[in-house]
Amino acid sequence: MVTLNVNGIDCRYGSVKILANVSLEVTPGCFLGILGPNGSGKTTLLKSISRVLKPHGGSILIDKEDIYKLKPKYVAKTMAVVSQHNDVGFNFSAMDVVLMGRNPHLGNFQMENTKDIEIAKNAMKLTNTWKFADRPINELSGGEAQRVIIARALAQEPKILLLDEPMSHLDIINQIELLDLIKKLCQENSLSVIAVIHDLNMASRYCDKLLLLKAGIVSAIGTVEQVITTDNIQNVFGINSIVRKNPLTNSPYIIPLSPKKTSKEKEKNHSIHIICGAGTGTPLLKTLHDEGYNISAGVLNNADTDFETCEILKILSISDPPFSAITDKAHKANLTIIKNTNTVILTAVPFGIGNIKNIETAIEAAKNGTPTYIIEETPVETRDFTNEKIATKLIQQLKKHGAIPVKNQTELLSNLKNQTLKN
């Protein structure tokens, strides 16, 4: 078991600085993912660790020994590398390619013995490539060849494994199988892994730690929860996103949001107030935000998914604390907003006695002649949890005042476009 330390390295190609003051530590059994946009220095960092590109400053240590002062054969026994480009050159069989991973363990002119062949065979079984053992490497698909190269790396029996975009060429099934295998080797064999991964959600699911690079500088490093945040993603990738907790893996997962469109002047001047909650407004908030409408929302509790979406998209919202009924103050603020709104939309939100005032706000808008829409993807009766079905009665009243029921978001958007054209 070994520990890898990267201490403040700087890397250059000629006069161009690619990495500046990058530091990290990988202990036995740790799976570190390196994330960042194209050109941020991810591959350069792996090249420096694997002794392909010597840093101009700083140091890289394996168990406190400078990696550039260690014997190449020792490094090859300790560390295996799977790079982006793995052309073998000659048309060796897949088994011969995997057996190349045993070279650091052989003496000069020594041939592989039974043990070496067994280790190579086991590596191929682990990567589901044993069935290709006798086939020429150049006749395999890109994904099949990639798995053979990973088997070759495992045949080295390394303590540290460096992977540069290991999932390139792999379909989703093989991606999951590969990352499941790597995670298992980390946990059971104390294998240390550093991997460049473009898929943020895969990195979040499998990695123990993440390093986020931006223009060659470490923007964030730490646990998955510390690194995968909306602020970090915005800062490094320049996109808005919603970060949720995966209920099955308990890891964060990212929902990237499209940039806001350059809207027509009519859309810019058309304001829409959305009455929503329990996540029923999030798709609509996102769509109308992207279309360039001026949007507001409320009343929402500040632990609600829709409230979080408003915060991320910087949409004005009226909010109250969770697990409490809508306060008079918030209700009045909601009423004030709809006075200057061109359109009000009520989503298919579940109703209890705590948020019943939101329907009253919609009624007030409809009574004042503001075009008001009710999205009825789900009948109100099935989501009315009030005594005596108060919400159902209020929705019926809302319709009597001219509110327009629509079946879904698609029908709503069609109505909105017609309304905007008329105005």
List the chain domain ranges.
Answer: 4-239, 265-422
pTM of the model: 0.71
- Residue-wise pLDDT for 253-287, tens only, equals 888 876 655 545 445 578 999 999 999 999 999 88
The top-level CATH class assigned to 265-422 is alpha beta
Section 207-225 average pLDDT: 96
Lowest mean pLDDT among 212-221, 234-243, 261-270: 261-270
Lowest mean pLDDT among 243-247, 362-366, 410-414: 243-247
Distance CA 150, CA 124 (A): 9
Residue 141 has pLDDT above 70, yes or no: yes
- Beta bridge partners, 26, equal 4
Residue 89 has pLDDT above 70, yes or no: no
List of E strands, 89-245: 160-164, 192-196, 209-214, 217-223, 241-245
Section 85-99 average pLDDT: 82
Q: What's the pLDDT band for 28 if we cut at 50, 70, 90?
A: very high
Helix orientation angle between 409-422 and 282-291, rounded to the nearest 10 degrees: 30
Q: What element of type H or E holds 12?
A: strand 4-13
Residue 299 near residue 318, CB atoms below 8 Å: yes
Question: Residue 307 is encoded by which pair of tokens?
Answer: 């409230």
Burial of 36 (0-12, 13-18, 19+ CB in 10 A): buried
Q: Same CATH fold, 265-422 and 4-239?
A: yes
Question: Residue 188 is encoded by which pair of tokens?
Answer: 């059971």
What topology is assigned to 4-239 in CATH? Rossmann fold (3.40.50)
pLDDT of residue 348: 93
Q: What element of type H or E holds 397?
A: helix 390-400
In Å, what is the CA distance from 299 to each residue of 62, 130, 302, 303, 363? 56, 60, 9, 12, 14
Give me the count of residues in the chain: 423
Question: Residue 388 is encoded by which pair of tokens?
Answer: 């005596």
Section 58-73 average pLDDT: 93
Q: What's the mean per-residue pLDDT of the chain? A: 90
CA atoms within 13 A on the CB side of 95: 13
Distance CA 225, CA 217 (A): 20
